[in-house]
Amino acid sequence: MTDCSHYVVFTIKKNLTAEHVDRFVDRTAEVREQAVESIAGYRNMMVSDVVHGPRSFNVNEWATRQTYIALGNFMTSAAMLGVDTCPMEGIEPNKYDKVLGLHDKGFATVVACAAGYRSADDKYADLKKVRFPKAEMIETL
């Protein structure tokens, strides 16, 4: 990770509140040039689900899973640009939080990903990819 071009740390905002939902709703209304009131139903649905509903009991776990959607998109997009990535969950999240000062901001580290053009002397770069057979992994109904 000290050699890579870019090193991205994916984090969650811990313990989402109605204020966080409102920030998102305000931003949606701004970008789409619509009245906040016109998406009140959407806002209330999110608050009742994420803040007060069953999801609120494991909201940080839910948020953690969401970061893998971003990570997957990041890696695919990089690959399409010919940029290699190395996703890492085998890290020490608490130490990242400390170094990045995330505790005080209410964020927590989930996963990190290095990105960059591969080194000419990377002995792993041209190794065959190890994957289970497609037929074993994908079920077509």
* Closer CB to ligand FMN, 87 or 106, in the complex: 87
Q: Tally Cβ neighbours within 10 Å of residue 124.
A: 8
* Closer CB to ligand FMN, 16 or 109, in the complex: 109
* Closer CB to ligand FMN, 33 or 121, in the complex: 121
* Contact between 101 and 74 (Cβ < 8 Å): no
Among 36, 79, 88, 99, binds ligand FMN (CB under 6 A): 88
E strand map for the chain: 6-13, 84-88, 107-116
* Closer CB to ligand FMN, 31 or 130, in the complex: 130
**Does the footprint of ligand FMN cover residue 87 (CB under 6 A)?**
yes
Number of amino acids touching ligand FMN (CB under 6 A): 8
Going from the C-alpha of 44 to that of each of 17, 19, 25, 54, the distances in angstroms are 12, 12, 10, 15
Sign of CA dihedral 99, 105, 107, 108: positive
Helix (H) or strand (E) holding 27: helix 18-31
Among 90, 132, 139, 141, binds ligand FMN (CB under 6 A): 90
* Contact between 112 and 88 (Cβ < 8 Å): yes
CB of 59 to ligand FMN, least distance (A): 23
Pick the piece of the chain touching ligand FMN (CB under 6 A) from 3-11, 25-33, 83-91, 92-100: 83-91
Tokens 């991205």 belong to residue: 8
Q: In the range 100-129, which residues lie near ligand FMN by CB under 6 A?
A: 129
Residues in contact with ligand FMN by the rule CB under 6 A: 86-91, 129-130
